[in-house]
Chains A and B, each alone.
Chain A
Amino acid sequence: MNLDAIYILWLREIKRFMRSKSRIIGSLAFPSLILIIIGTGLNSVFTFGRLSYIEFLAPGMIGMVLLFSSISFGIMIIWDRQFGFLKEILVAPISRTSIIVGKTLGGVTTSMFQALLFLIVCFAIGIKFPSPLRLVLLFIVMILIAIGFVLVGIAFSSRMKDFHGFSLIMNFVILPIFFLSGAFFPLDRLPEWLKWFVYVDPLTYGVDALRFCMVSTSTFPLWLNLLVLIAFGTLATSIGTLLFRTTQL
């Protein structure tokens, strides 16, 4: 482990992120539109116990911001490969582990930044501010989600040479994970066949935990949610590290 190298790889991601303002705005626009337009549109039809639809939807949208920004960050390694920068890192006398740690920290930071900006949007349109303890918990849950999906992205990019496969990943990985996560609908009255898919989706537990922290409602107990998220993070880290270690030029 080389702390200097980890730091500079992290800093590089932050600088690149801060220099692409359009990326930041773009990543906030889509979930904000869903939350404000769909949320308001369906608000009159659906309520969930004491929750309005917007309150129900907001944590799901936080989950979506984290999912999209984290996975696409990991996949950005393909850019490094295509523009040759990956070689510069791979021939440096640093371990692959340092590279992954630096990358992951960079991805988690930029993802968290976008999610926190979106959280402000949520508060601005009327989601109640949680207690300090819940806020800390919310923070932890967000980080766990980000770590897991950044490494999923890194795992994919370790085996992809170019962006041709990206639309496949978008349609067969990212979108299913998002739609199945219960961001839009409650989990308790689903048909049996759908339940199976929903229950193997790690983001389901993420969104459920976010909902607990933000609007005090959840399907699963918090400990189970956290356990699944930690297990998912560990699994993604192992697979991502393994695949990245053996990545070729």
Chain B
Amino acid sequence: MSSTVIQLFDLKKYFKEVKAVDGVSFSITQGEIFGLLGPNGAGKTTILNILCTLLKPTSGTATICNYDIRKDKDAVRRSIGIVFQDPSLDDQLTASENLDLHGRLYHIPKDKRQWKMEELLELVELSDKKNIMVKNFSGGMKRRLEIARGLLHQPQVLFLDEPTLGLDPQTRRHIWEYIRKLNRDTKVTIIITTHYMDEADVLCHRVAIIDRGRISAINTPTQLKKQIGGELISIKTEDEFCPEQPWIKSVNKHDGYINLTVEEADQKLSSLMKIAQEKGITIDAITIHKPTLEDVFLHFTGKTIREEESSWADDVRMRRRSRSR
């Protein structure tokens, strides 16, 4: 049984003339790991801040566990846990003091607070460091502690804003494992914002591609990649080779390679080889390249995520900065 936990209704947030979030609607079911994928400045964090009641939407609304984010702020706050993009720990307190503070803010009774803290410190492997001041923690340890803190009051929904931003590859992988384990063990619904393609691909059940405050596509990573229309087969050959088959969707030559777009390429590979052999063509190398979310992003927005980041994000940032002055 899956039920809807989060629902957004035409959510909009304008900062003066900048449309940071421009009419976003979608829903998330219980137990999902849902990814908001987009370049920096696409509006991911703004959506998150609205959902966790820190920002008021310009128009539209959303419900979390059937509570309206505009009207039932306290109920919403009780149902969610958040790990912000930037650390939000008190670094002059120890790990367990930070957790204890959180537990009291969320009104968790003392004995439950105690065992919950132990359990979560165990989960994020910080039990032996619980009495160390947070300022002596590494970036990865802080992140793990924040995840533990976000779970302390047993929220139904956990928001993770760029959970692995600025972490080394090993720690990133570690955190992915935690997130997956967490989702499996506690059935908590997780919403992740990220601009890392691999992160969204590996972690999320469903991904929403966000570009300039709007949703370009929502689906499972596999389906999104399928929407591109297949995989890419690159053939390196010096001969003239132009296979014509109904299952080949497109052919283009580039840099001494012949690139074919094909559905279920691994199954078509042998017939392709056969055709080449019949025509007496020597193939130097052949690779199958599955489309990545990077290709998907390109497909839906017409730009790569890096191109987007350099133009749009700076624009939004600068305007937001001048607003806060």
Q: Which residues of chain A have a CB within 8 Å of any CB of chain B?
A: 2, 4-5, 7-9, 12, 15-16, 19-20, 83-94, 161, 249
Contact = CB atoms under 8 A, between A and B. Distances in A.
A86 B101 CA distance: 13
A91 B55 CA distance: 11
B104 A90 contact: no
A93 B101 contact: no
B105 A12 contact: no
Given A12-B90, A93-B78, A87 B54 contact: yes
A89 B90 CA distance: 11
Contacts of B54: 87, 90-91, 249
Interface string B285-316: 00000000000000000000000000000000
Contact of B102 (A83, A88, A249): A88
Contacts of B75: 93
B82 A92 contact: no
Contacts of A90: 54
B220 interface: no
28 contacts: A5-B104, A5-B105, A8-B104, A12-B93, A16-B90, A16-B92, A20-B92, A83-B87, A83-B88, A83-B90, A84-B86, A84-B88, A85-B88, A85-B89, A87-B54, A87-B82, A87-B84, A88-B102, A89-B105, A90-B54, A91-B54, A91-B82, A92-B77, A92-B102, A92-B106, A93-B105, A161-B324, A161-B325
Contacts of B325: 161
Nearest to A99: B105
Which of A16, A84, A86 is the most central at the interface, judged by chain B CB atoms within 10 Å of its CB? A84
Contacts of A83: 87-88, 90-91
Q: Is the interface of A mostly helix, strand, loop or mixed?
A: helix
B74 interface: yes
Given A15-B93, A16-B93, A93-B105, 15 more contacts: A2-B107, A8-B105, A9-B101, A12-B90, A15-B92, A15-B97, A83-B91, A84-B84, A84-B86, A84-B87, A87-B88, A88-B88, A91-B80, A92-B77, A161-B325
Nearest to A2: B107
A221 B101 CA distance: 45
A117 to B, nearest CB: 21
A93 B81 CA distance: 11
Contacts of A16: 90, 92-93
Interface string B48-92: 010011110000000000000000001101101010101111111
